[in-house]
Structure 1
Amino acid sequence: MNYSAKTTDYCLEVAVQPAIPARIVKGIIPIKRKPAKARIKNESEKVLRGVKKSFLVFKNNKYSTVSTDSIAFFYIKLERSTIITNDGIEYMVNHSLHQIQHLVSDQQFFRLNRQCLVNFQFVKEVEHYFGRKLIVKTSVPFAGRLLVSKERSRIFLNWLDDR
């Protein structure tokens, strides 16, 4: 008997055997429980861990910490996450913007777009831009434009209003 015939024969044997309800339930229950346990574990870890208060950065052969209170915004520069402080100093960090968004307080930082997270205390003004987009001006000078899409503009304005 060749291999394909053996595998077909085995599959048929398994398929025609009567199902034992206890085995089915035993197999299904852990599958249903795992996501809930994982979700609860992740949420409890987040609560216990709290929000990140500072970031370890490396510049000029020195390690230092930058407090989140002194960070004006995070943005992507040359495919790396970069911090801009209130002094205008740039630091590279080893976290993705998505990771940073979950590490910092959502009351303090808002994800403007795919490239930028801004700190509330450094938002100076917001102007309307083309196509119902918003442009954010910060108290820290920045060469680029900090844009909010028209889909997120209402959420951003509500976030500003909730302070």
Structure 2
Amino acid sequence: MKARSLFIAVVCSFMGVVNSYAQDWFNSTTPESLKGVWQMCFYSSSLPALPGELKPSNSLKILGESGEFTNVVMMPAGAIIIGSGTYTLNSDSTYTEHVKKNIHLPSLEGKDNLMHFELAENGTLMFVKFKTPEVGDDVWSHEIWRKIEMPSSYPTDIVR
């Protein structure tokens, strides 16, 4: 009887430890939210044979805390909104944009756009791939987004 009780106690302890580590692992790899301001980036290289540097573009994606998204493009005449709607985080590697309006890809309006993503650099870099009707169902579109964070102090070289 003592051996059986000891065995059950050891198994319960083992299960508790494994459960604790599994929860920590899952929580650290699954984002609670993608909320924030993201800037589209691209790789630029001076020579085709050399790997490029990641450079920022003039496009922003704002993923709101309450599940709304807005795509903004900065232009010399001022910023414009090119797309908006809501989004839902499905898993640790997909989210769905529910497109309300999109002037760049009007065929997405009223539709769900499934976005596959991978986070890197402690969640500050997001690699996204998706399919759109314009390109075709067998072709993936790829985007790179860097999360914009507030600096600890006001930059001295800011252009206003």
Fold conserved between structures, TM > 0.5: no
Structure with greater proportional strand content = 2
Structure with greater proportional helix content = 1
Higher relative contact order (CA 8 A, sep 6+): 2
The normalised TM-score by structure 2 is 0.31
The normalised TM-score by structure 1 is 0.30
